[in-house]
Structure 1
C-alpha cells in the first residue's frame, strides 16, 4: 500500500497536494518532523532517511513525520491555482510556499494528530530541508516564531547570491588576469559565469512556478535574523556537500571545471553555511559539516547521515 495520499488545502480547495504522513511511534510529545524538498528532487527522496529512522528510532520514540510535493512538483500534478499565469515559471514566491506549508501543517496537525492550533507550545516542528528548502524553512521559522524547535539544513540554497558573482568578473574595470590562481583561466571563468546566468541566476524560473527573484531581498544575510524556537533558539545542524564529490558532480552538470569549484564555489558555499550555523545560539548549533560522498542532494547520496543528524536533534528535543 502506497504511503502517499492527496488532500486539498482549505485555502486552495481547487487543487490537491500529494503527501505522506507517518504517525508517531513510542512518544506522545507533540512534535512533527517536516521534510521540505528542493527544486530538484521530490518527496520520495526522503524515503531512505525515513526508513533508517524507523528502523533505529531515537531512544525517546519517533515523532510523526510529514513529506509533501509542492504544487507542480513530483506527484502533485496540480499547479498552484493562484499562480500568475503571465509567466508560469515565476508564478509565486517563497513566501507563498511558506504560507501553503503552514496551512498544510495546520490541517495535518488537526486531522492526524488531534492538535487544533499551532500556537507556540502546542506543536513543535523539526524542519529538514534540501537546497531551496533551506530558504523555505528559514522563512517559515521567521514567519511563525516559537514553533520551530529544530532545523537540519542539507546543502541549503545560496539564498542571497545571484550565483554569477561567485566568480570574479573578468570584464570589470581593473580586473588583473595575472592575479588568477594557478589552473584558473579567464575563458573558464567567463564560461562558468555564463552557465550560472543561464541556469542558476534568480531571473530563471522553475517548472513548478516557484520564483527566486525576491529571495535575496527576503533573506539578505546567511547569519540572520536569529531564529526563535519554543524555548530559546532552535537546535540547528548545517550539513553541506562533500567538496570532492561536488567538484565531480558540478562538472558533470556542465557547471565548471573542478579547479574553479575548488577555488570559488566550495569556499563560497562553506562561508554561507558558516552563517547558517549562527542562526541560533552557539550551544544549539552544529556544523557546518561535509556529508561524506554526497553532492548537492545529500538525502539521496547519504541518507544514513541525514537519519543520524536528525536523530541527534530529536534526542535533544524529546
Structure 2
C-alpha cells in the first residue's frame, strides 16, 4: 500500500488533505489516474485496485495513480475551512466547491510530482457513487482536460431518491401499479428513503447534495469535451441487480421492491450516462458481477479489468 502523505491547498492553507501517489513508468507525458471516493468508502479501498493493476501492467506502460480523502473524510481529519461559518456544517459546501478543491489539488500534484502544468497532464477519473458526479462536474468545468472516465455505480444525481417509488398519496395513484406489493410497504420505503438518502440529509463530511439536481439535471448531458475536442472515453458500470437488492434489504427496502422500482430506474440513469460522450468513445452500461453499490470493494478484479481496458485506449 502506498504511504499516505498530506498536502495543504494553496487556496485553503489552514487545512491538509491526505493522499497517496504512485509514480508512473518513465514517460515524457504521464497519464494521471485520479480516484474519486463516494460518501461511504475512503481512499483506502482503491489500493487493491492499484496493486492489481500494477501487477497486470508490469510489462507495460504505467500511469501515475493518486487517491485522496476529501475534507472531513477518511484520513483527512481537517474539515473544509469554509465550513466553519456554515449555518449547518453537514451542508457546509457543495460538489462544485469540491471540484474546485480537486482542481487545486491536482494542480499542485502535477507541479510537485511532474514539474508540469496541469493542462499538459492527461487525466483519467475513476469515481464511485457521488465521486462519479464529481468526475462529470470536473470534466464540465474544465473542458478538454479529461481523457477518460470510469463511472462505478454513479449516484442518481438528479433524483430525490423518494420519487423512485410510486406515491400512494398522489391523486392519480393506481394500486394496481404496485401489486402485489402492499401499499404500506411502499409508504415505508419512501419514508426510509427520505430519512436516509434525500438530498436534504447532510453528512459528516459537510458535502451537500442539495443543489446536485441543479448542477447535473440530466443523466445524458451535457456532452463532455475531451482533449482535442474529441472524447473523452467513458465507461459506465452499474451494480449487480441481485447483489444490490440484497444489500438494500439490510437497510430496509425488501428485495422485490428494489428489483421492481430501483434497479430499472438506476439502469435507465446509467443508459443516459453512456451518452455524455460520442458513441465511439462510450462503453456501457455494463454490470459488475456480484457487486452492490460499492463496486471497488465488492469486485475489484472487475474494476481492474475495465480500468486497464480504458488505459489501453489512452496510454
Normalised by the shorter chain, which TM-score bucket?
Answer: over 0.9
Q: Under a length normalisation based on structure 1, what TM-score does the superposition of the two structures give?
A: 0.96
User: Where do 1:16-55 residues align within 5 Å?
Assistant: 16-55=16-55
Cα distance, 1:124 vs structure 2 = 0.7
Aligned pair 1:99/2:100, yes or no? yes
The DSSP-based 3-state class of the residue aligned with 2:247 is helix
Cα distance in 1, alignment partners of residues 53 and 16 from structure 2: 28
Look up the match of 2:68: 68
> 1:272 maps to which residue?
269
Structure 2 residue aligned with 1:281? 278
Q: What is the alpha-carbon distance in structure 1 between the residues aligned to residue 196 and residue 151 of structure 2? A: 23
Task: Return the alpha-carbon distance in structure 2 between the equivalents of residues 210 and 125 of structure 1.
Answer: 23
Cα deviation for residue 28 of structure 1 reads 3.6
Q: Which of the numbers 287, 290, 294 marks the counterpart of 1:293?
A: 290
Q: CA deviation at 1:248?
A: 0.2
User: For 1:133, what is the secondary structure of its paired residue?
Assistant: helix
Number of positions where the alignment pairs a residue of Structure 1 with one of Structure 2: 313
Partners in 1 of 2:6 and 2:195 — Cα distance?
Answer: 35
**Alignment RMSD (CA, Å):** 1.2
1:58 Cα deviation after fit: 7.5
Residue in structure 2 matched with residue 11 of structure 1 by the alignment: 11
SS at match of 1:101: helix
- With over 3 angstroms needed to count, the CA separation of the structure-2 counterparts of 1:58 and 1:151, relative to structure 1, is farther
**2:258 counterpart of 1:257:** no
Contact kept, 8 Å, 1:29 with 1:63, in 2: the verdict is: no
Give the corresponding residue for 2:202: 205
Quote the offset at 1:26 in angstroms.
4.8
Matches within 5 A, 1:1-318: 3-57=3-57, 60-83=60-83, 84-115=85-116, 117-119=117-119, 122-182=120-180, 184-231=181-228, 232-254=230-252, 256-318=253-315
Task: Kindly indicate whether the alpha-carbon contact (under 8 Å) linking 2:92 and 2:208 is maintained by their aligned counterparts in 1.
Answer: yes
Structure 1 runs not aligned, ≥5 long: none
Q: Secondary structure at the match of 2:113?
A: helix
TM-score, length basis structure 2: 0.97
**Range that drifts further, 171-180 or 276-285:** 171-180
Cα distance in structure 2, aligned partners of 1:58 and 1:149 = 22
Q: Indicate if the aligned counterparts of 2:111 and 2:118 stay in contact, CA closer than 8 A.
A: no
Runs of 4+ in 1 over 6 A off after TM superposition: none
Residues of 1 paired with 2:19 and 2:159: CA distance? 31
Distance in 1 separating the partners of 2:162 and 2:292: 20
